[in-house]
C-alpha cells in the first residue's frame, strides 16, 4: 500500500468513528462536544501526509514568504525548502565556523537537492556531517572524481548521500540525494579561517549569497584536431567551462518573497579587553559575559540570505596589539601563525613622488541599484584626493569601454571637473567585460618612469565567472603598476578582489553601503599616499621552516603581515625585515612566547594551496606540478579544494527501488540593493510586489528547535530536531476537546442539581 493509500484509510476510519461518537453525544444532549471533536479532527493530520505534501496553491500570491513553487497542471506546489544556521567561534586569531543547512522536502516526490552557496575565500573546509533522523554520518575527503562516483553510486542505490564540492575558493556546491517525501535532512560543514585585521580594527565576514556572474563570450579558441578524425576537429572556446555550476537560478523579488532564512551566532573571544563591537549591515544583539568575550546574535532572529554579514571589533585600549604569535602541535610538526603590523612612518621630509592614478569604474548591469551610487561616490572622492602634481585618467566599462582622456592628464581643476561630470552621468547596464578594461588600465604609456608611482584603482562588484583570465592579464601586464581593488555592494566577489590585489601588489577595500564611502576611501588613499613596507624577508634562528605565503607581499599602512609556518621544532626566534619607504625596519619574535592556537595547521595548508594556485597562474610551475602539490596537501590535511571533495553516504537504502528521483536546484535571492531588470532584462507585466521583504523564519525556527543529543555526540554535533506545526494543531485540538468535556460535565451537573 502506498503512503497516499495509508493516509486516506486513516482519515476515513477516523471520520467514521467521530461521526458515530457525535451521533451518540447528540442523542445524549451533549452537542457542545462537537466543537472539540471538530477541532481535534482538523488538527489530526500525519506530520507529513501525502495530501499535505502536495497541497495545491492556485497562484503564487497564496504562498507563504520564503516558498519556492513548482508549476503543475492544477496550479503551484511548494517545493524543497532550505534554512541555514551559521555558528562562529572566534578564538584570538582564528575563526571556527559551523554551517548547518536544513533541506526540507514538502513534496510527495523523492528529490535530490543541489545548492550553490558562498564561503570565505580564505576558509579551509574540512568537515561534513549529514543527519538523517537520529543517525549522524561523517563525511570523508576523497579525490574529486572518486567522491563524485561514490555519491552517484549511493544516489542510484537509493541511499541518502551528501557531496560538498568547491567550484571556486569562495563558491561551493552541496548535493543531497534521496530526500524522501516529507523528510528533512541536515548537512553540516565546518571550516577554519584567520581573523582579518586592519589597524586597530579586527573583523570577520560571512558571505551569504552567490551573486549572478557574467560569463563572457570567448576571445581565444583552442582547436582539437586528431590524426584519426580525417582532418576534422573541434574548438573549445568557453572561458567559463563550469558556468552552469556557478550560476544558480535567482528569484525575482517582484514575484517571490526571499528564501533561505539564515540565523547567525558569533562567540567572540578576542583574547584582549574589548571596546566597540558592531555589525555595519545587520541589526544584532550583543551579550557581554566578561571584558574579553561577546556573544552576538541577529536581532531579528533570521534574515534573508541576500547580503554578506560583517562583524568588527576594536580593543578597549586606544591602540590595538601590533604583534600576535600563536602555535599548534600536530603530528610531528609545530605550526606557527604570526601577525605583525609595521609602525606608521611618515614619508621623509623630501617631497613625495608624484603619482599616476588610473580609476576604473564598472557600470555594468550588476552594478544597478545602490552599487552604482556607491561606486560613483567613491570615485569622485578619489578624484578630490589628487594633488596638483599627480596625473590621472578614468576608464568606464560594461560590455563596452570608454577611456576619458587619450592619455593621463594633470590633476588640475578643469580636468577634475570634466572627470566628475563624466562619472556623474554614468548609468548601470550591460555585460561585464572586465579583462579589456584591466588591460587598458595596465597599459603604461610612460614606460616605467621611475619618478612616478603608477596606481590602478579598480571599482567593481567583481561578478564575473572568468576570474582566471583576469589574473593572467594582471600577471602579464602589471609592470610597475600596483592594483588596488575596491569591492562594491552587498555581496562582492571577494575571491577575485583579494587575488587580483595580491597579483597586482596592491590592496583590497570593501564598500558595502554609501555610508562607508568616505571612511573606506579615506583609508584606501592613506595606503596610496604613504610609503609601503617593501623587501620583506623572514629568517628563523634555530628552526627549519616552510613559510606561507611563499612570496611575502608589500604591506600598506595599517596592514599586518600574516605569516604561517610549519616548523621542525619550536625553538629560537623569527626575525622579520623590510623597508618602510627609504628606512630599514626589523622586528624579532621569540617563539617560546607563542600562545596556544587552534586549527593553525589547516590555515597553513590552505595558504600553501593558494600559493600553488598562484604559482600555476604566474607559470612558475606547470599545471601538473601545481595539481600534484595541491592534492597532496588536501589529502594530508583533509581539506576541500578544486581537486578534492567531501562525501557522506548513509549505508541504509531509503528510496524504494523503481521510484524516480527528481533533481531540485535551489534558487538564491537577488543580492540586496541590486536591480533585477538591470541584470536579467525588463520583466513582462507583473503583479504588485510583496509589501515587505522578510524571510519566512518559521521553517528555520522549527527545524532548529533544540533536543537532547546522545552523550557521545554532545561536544561535536549540536544539530536540530525537525518538526511541523501539525503537532501544535493536535495539541490545540486536544485542549479544545478537554474544555468541551469540562463544559459538558458542568452543564450536566447543573441539570442534576435541579
Report pLDDT digits (tens) over 215-252: 987 655 555 555 555 666 555 567 888 888 988 899 89
Stronger pLDDT, 189 or 684, i.e. the higher one: 189
Q: Dump pLDDT digits (tens) for 325-382.
A: 999 999 999 999 999 999 887 654 446 778 999 999 999 999 999 999 999 999 999 9
Flag the least confident range among 418-432, 527-541, 738-752.
Answer: 738-752
Residue 717: pLDDT above 50? Answer: no
Determine contact, residues 467/502, Cβ cutoff 8 Å. no
DSSP letter at 316 equals: S
E strands present in 133-242: 135-138, 140-143, 159-168, 171-179, 184-194, 196-198, 201-206, 222-225, 233-236
Write the burial class of residue 731 (CB in 10 Å: 0-12 exposed, 13-18 middle, 19+ buried). exposed
Residue 718: pLDDT above 60? Answer: no
Determine contact, residues 365/679, Cβ cutoff 8 Å. yes
Work out the pLDDT band at 257, boundaries 50, 70, 90. confident
Residues 6+ apart with CB under 8 A from 122: 169, 193, 194, 498, 606, 610
- Determine the straight-line distance between the first and last CA of the chain, rounded to whole angstroms: 55
Residue 689: pLDDT above 60? Answer: no
SS3 372: helix
The CB-side HSE value for 372 (13 A sphere, CA atoms) comes to 22
Stronger pLDDT, 318 or 455, i.e. the higher one: 455
Work out the pLDDT band at 702, boundaries 50, 70, 90. very low
Q: Dump pLDDT digits (tens) for 623-632.
A: 999 999 999 9
Distance between CA atoms of 257 and 264, rounded to whole angstroms?
Answer: 20
640 grid coordinates: 576541500
Work out the pLDDT band at 652, boundaries 50, 70, 90. confident
Helices (H) and strands (E) in the chain, counts: 15, 39
SS3 279: coil
State how far the alpha carbon of 275 is from the alpha carbons of 222, 281, 315, 332, 478, in Å: 57, 19, 5, 39, 41
Distance between CA atoms of 591 and 578, rounded to whole angstroms?
Answer: 20
> Bridge-partner residues for 211, per DSSP?
none
pLDDT (average), residues 305-315: 96
Question: Domain coordinates of the chain in residue numbers?
Answer: 1-47+723-754, 54-78, 81-210+260-313+644-665, 334-345+533-637, 355-529
SS3 359: strand
Determine contact, residues 203/313, Cβ cutoff 8 Å. yes
pLDDT (average), residues 448-461: 88
Residue 633: pLDDT above 70? Answer: yes
148 grid coordinates: 563524485
pLDDT (average), residues 183-208: 95
Predicted local confidence at residue 445, as pLDDT: 85
Mean pLDDT taken over the chain? 83
pLDDT (average), residues 178-182: 93
Neighbours of 431 (CB within 10 A): 18
- In percent, the amount of the chain with pLDDT more than 70 equals 76
Distance between CA atoms of 330 and 123, rounded to whole angstroms?
Answer: 19
Residue 730: pLDDT above 80? Answer: no
Stronger pLDDT, 231 or 476, i.e. the higher one: 476
Work out the pLDDT band at 51, boundaries 50, 70, 90. very low
Distance between CA atoms of 199 and 322, rounded to whole angstroms?
Answer: 8
DSSP letter at 715 equals: T
Predicted local confidence at residue 13, as pLDDT: 43
- In percent, the amount of the chain with pLDDT more than 90 equals 66
Residue 44: pLDDT above 90? Answer: no
pLDDT (average), residues 706-727: 36
Flag the least confident range among 27-31, 77-81, 99-103, 393-397.
Answer: 27-31
pLDDT (average), residues 131-160: 95
pLDDT (average), residues 630-659: 96
Determine contact, residues 715/405, Cβ cutoff 8 Å. no
> Bridge-partner residues for 142, per DSSP?
645
Determine contact, residues 298/264, Cβ cutoff 8 Å. yes
> Bridge-partner residues for 187, per DSSP?
101, 130
* Fold designation for 355-529: Rossmann fold (3.40.50)
Determine contact, residues 213/464, Cβ cutoff 8 Å. yes
Write the burial class of residue 626 (CB in 10 Å: 0-12 exposed, 13-18 middle, 19+ buried). buried
Stronger pLDDT, 678 or 90, i.e. the higher one: 90
542 grid coordinates: 634555530
pLDDT (average), residues 406-421: 97
Predicted local confidence at residue 740, as pLDDT: 60
Distance between CA atoms of 122 and 206, rounded to whole angstroms?
Answer: 11
Length of the chain: 754
Whether domain 81-210+260-313+644-665 has CATH 3.40.50: the reply is: no
Residue 489: pLDDT above 90? Answer: yes
> Bridge-partner residues for 173, per DSSP?
116, 165
Distance between CA atoms of 103 and 80, rounded to whole angstroms?
Answer: 7
pTM of the model: 0.81
Predicted local confidence at residue 127, as pLDDT: 97
Predicted local confidence at residue 706, as pLDDT: 37
Residue 635: pLDDT above 90? Answer: yes
Determine contact, residues 372/428, Cβ cutoff 8 Å. yes
Residue 21: pLDDT above 70? Answer: no
Work out the pLDDT band at 684, boundaries 50, 70, 90. confident
3-class SS shares of the chain: helix, strand, coil, % to 5: 30, 35, 40
Distance between CA atoms of 509 and 501, rounded to whole angstroms?
Answer: 10
Predicted local confidence at residue 752, as pLDDT: 56
Residue 23: pLDDT above 70? Answer: no
What DSSP string runs through 415-446? HHHHHHHHHHT----S---HHHHHHHHH--TT
Predicted local confidence at residue 61, as pLDDT: 40
Q: How far is CA 65 from the centre of its chain?
A: 22
Sign of CA dihedral 310, 313, 318, 321: negative
Distance between CA atoms of 256 and 81, rounded to whole angstroms?
Answer: 14
SS3 383: helix
Predicted local confidence at residue 356, as pLDDT: 95
> Bridge-partner residues for 336, per DSSP?
327, 565
Residue 549: cis peptide before it, omega within 30 degrees of 0: yes
Work out the pLDDT band at 11, boundaries 50, 70, 90. very low
Predicted local confidence at residue 452, as pLDDT: 86
Work out the pLDDT band at 416, boundaries 50, 70, 90. very high
Residue 77: pLDDT above 90? Answer: no
Predicted local confidence at residue 247, as pLDDT: 84
pLDDT (average), residues 244-269: 91
pLDDT (average), residues 508-516: 95
Residue 753: pLDDT above 80? Answer: no
Q: Nearest-CA neighbor of 84 among 65, 68, 98? A: 98
Determine contact, residues 291/273, Cβ cutoff 8 Å. yes
Predicted local confidence at residue 161, as pLDDT: 96
503 grid coordinates: 597579483
Residue 50: pLDDT above 70? Answer: no
The secondary element (H helix, E strand) that includes residue 152 is: helix 144-156
Distance between CA atoms of 88 and 189, rounded to whole angstroms?
Answer: 12
30 grid coordinates: 451533549
Flag the least confident range among 398-407, 445-454, 611-620, 690-699.
Answer: 690-699
Residue 28: pLDDT above 70? Answer: no
Stronger pLDDT, 661 or 735, i.e. the higher one: 661
Amino acid at each position: 500500500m502506498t503512503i497516499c493509500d495509508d493516509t486516506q484509510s486513516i482519515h476515513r476510519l477516523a471520520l467514521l468513528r467521530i461521526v458515530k461518537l457525535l451521533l451518540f453525544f447528540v442523542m445524549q444532549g451533549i452537542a457542545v462536544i462537537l466543537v472539540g471533536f471538530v477541532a481535534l479532527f482538523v488538527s489530526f493530520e500525519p506530520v507529513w501526509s501525502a495530501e499535505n505534501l502536495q497541497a495545491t496553491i492556485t497562484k503564487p500570491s497564496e504562498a507563504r514568504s520564503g516558498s519556492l513553487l513548482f508549476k503543475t497542471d492544477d496550479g503551484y506546489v511548494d517545493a524543497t525548502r532550505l534554512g541555514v544556521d551559521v555558528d562562529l567561534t572566534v578564538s584570538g586569531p582564528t575563526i571556527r565556523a559551523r554551517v548547518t543547512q536544513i533541506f526540507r522536502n514538502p513534496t510527495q516526490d523523492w528529490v535530490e537537492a543541489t545548492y550553490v552557496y558562498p564561503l570565505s575565500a580564505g576558509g579551509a573546509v574540512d568537515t561534513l556531517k549529514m543527519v538523517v533522523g537520529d543517525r549522524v554520518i561523517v563525511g570523508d575527503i576523497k579525490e574529486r572524481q572518486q567522491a563524485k562516483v561514490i555519491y552517484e553510486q549511493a544516489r542510484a542505490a537509493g541511499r541518502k548521500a551528501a557531496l560538498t564540492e568547491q567550484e571556486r575558493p569562495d563558491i561551493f556546491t552541496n548535493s543531497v540525494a534521496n530526500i524522501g517525501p516529507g523528510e528533512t535532512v541536515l548537512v553540516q560543514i565546518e571550516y577554519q579561517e584567520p581573523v582579518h585585521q586592519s589597524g586597530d580594527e579586527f573583523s570577520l565576514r560571512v558571505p551569504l549569497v552567490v551573486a549572478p556572474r557574467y560569463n563572457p563570450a570567448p576571445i581565444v579558441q583552442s582547436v582539437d584536431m586528431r590524426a584519426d578524425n580525417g582532418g576534422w576537429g573541434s574548438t573549445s572556446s568557453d572561458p567559463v567551462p563550469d558556468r552552469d555550476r556557478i550560476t544558480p537560478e535567482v528569484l525575482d523579488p517582484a514575484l517571490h518573497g526571499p528564501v533561505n532564512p539564515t540565523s547567525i551566532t558569533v562567540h567572540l573571544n578576542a583574547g584582549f579587553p574589548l571596546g566597540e563591537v558592531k555589525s555595519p549591515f545587520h541589526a544584532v544583539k550583543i551579550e557581554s559575559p566578561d571584558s574579553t568575550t561577546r556573544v552576538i546574535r541577529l536581532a531579528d532572529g533570521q534574515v534573508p540570505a541576500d547580503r554578506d554579514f560583517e562583524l568588527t571589533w576594536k580593543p578597549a585600549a586606544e591602540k590595538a596589539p601590533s604583534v600576535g604569535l600563536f602555535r599548534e602541535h600536530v603530528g610531528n610538526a609545530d605550526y606557527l601563525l604570526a601577525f605583525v603590523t609595521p609602525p606608521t612612518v611618515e614619508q621623509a621630509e623630501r617631497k613625495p613622488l608624484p603619482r599616476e592614478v588610473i580609476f576604473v569604474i564598472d557600470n555594468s548591469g550588476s552594478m544597478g541599484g545602490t552599487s552604482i551610487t556607491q561606486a560613483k561616490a567613491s570615485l569622485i572622492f578619489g578624484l578630490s584626493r589628487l594633488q596638483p602634481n599627480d596625473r590621472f585618467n578614468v576608464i568606464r566599462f560594461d560590455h563596452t569601454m570608454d577611456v576619458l582622456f587619450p592619455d593621463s592628464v594633470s590633476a588640475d581643476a578643469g580636468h577634475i571637473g570634466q572627470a566628475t561630470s563624466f562619472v556623474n552621468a554614468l548609468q548601470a547596464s550591460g555585460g561585464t567585460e572586465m579583462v579589456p578594461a584591466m588591460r587598458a588600465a595596465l597599459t603604461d604609456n610612460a614606460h616605467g618612469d621611475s619618478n612616478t608611482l603608477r596606481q590602478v584603482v579598480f571599482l567593481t562588484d567583481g561578478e564575473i565567472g572568468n576570474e582566471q583570465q583576469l589574473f593572467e592579464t594582471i600577471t602579464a601586464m602589471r609592470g610597475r603598476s600596483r592594483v588596488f581593488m575596491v569591492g562594491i555592494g552587498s555581496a562582492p566577489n571577494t575571491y577575485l578582489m583579494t587575488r587580483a590585489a595580491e597579483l597586482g601588489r596592491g590592496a583590497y577595500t570593501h564598500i558595502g553601503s554609501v555610508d562607508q564611502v568616505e571612511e573606506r576611501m579615506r583609508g584606501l588613499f592613506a595606503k596610496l599616499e604613504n610609503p609601503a613596507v617593501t623587501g620583506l624577508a623572514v629568517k628563523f634562528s634555530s628552526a627549519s621552516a616552510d613559510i606561507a605565503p611563499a612570496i611575502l607581499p608589500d604591506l600598506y599602512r595599517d596592514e599586518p603581515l600574516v605569516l604561517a609556518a610549519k616548523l621542525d621544532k619550536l625553538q629560537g626566534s623569527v626575525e622579520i625585515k623590510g623597508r618602510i619607504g627609504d628606512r630599514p625596519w626589523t622586528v624579532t619574535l621569540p617563539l617560546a612566547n607563542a600562545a596556544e592556537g587552534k586549527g593553525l595547521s589547516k590555515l597553513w595548508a590552505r595558504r600553501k594551496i593558494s600559493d600553488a594556485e598562484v604559482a600555476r597562474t604566474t607559470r612558475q610551475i606547470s599545471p601538473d606540478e601545481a595539481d600534484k602539490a595541491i592534492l597532496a596537501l588536501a589529502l594530508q590535511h583533509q581539506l576541500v579544494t578544486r581537486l578534492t571533495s567531501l562525501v557522506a553516504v548513509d549505508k541504509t537504502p531509503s528510496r524504494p527501488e523503481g521510484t524516480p528521483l527528481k533533481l531540485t536546484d535551489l534558487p538564491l535571492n537577488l543580492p540586496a540593493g541590486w536591480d533585477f531588470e538591470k541584470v536579467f532584462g525588463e520583466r513582462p507585466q507583473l503583479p504588485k510586489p510583496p509589501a515587505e521583504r522578510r524571510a519566512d523564519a518559521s521553517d528555520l525556527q522549527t527545524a532548529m528547535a533544540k533536543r537532547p543529543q546522545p552523550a557521545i555526540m554532545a561536544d561535536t554535533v549540536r544539530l536540530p530536531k525537525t518538526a511541523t506545526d501539525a503537532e501544535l494543531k493536535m495539541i490545540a485540538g486536544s485542549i479544545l476537546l478537554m474544555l468541551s468535556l469540562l463544559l459538558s460535565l458542568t452543564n450536566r451537573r447543573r441539570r442534576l442539581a435541579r
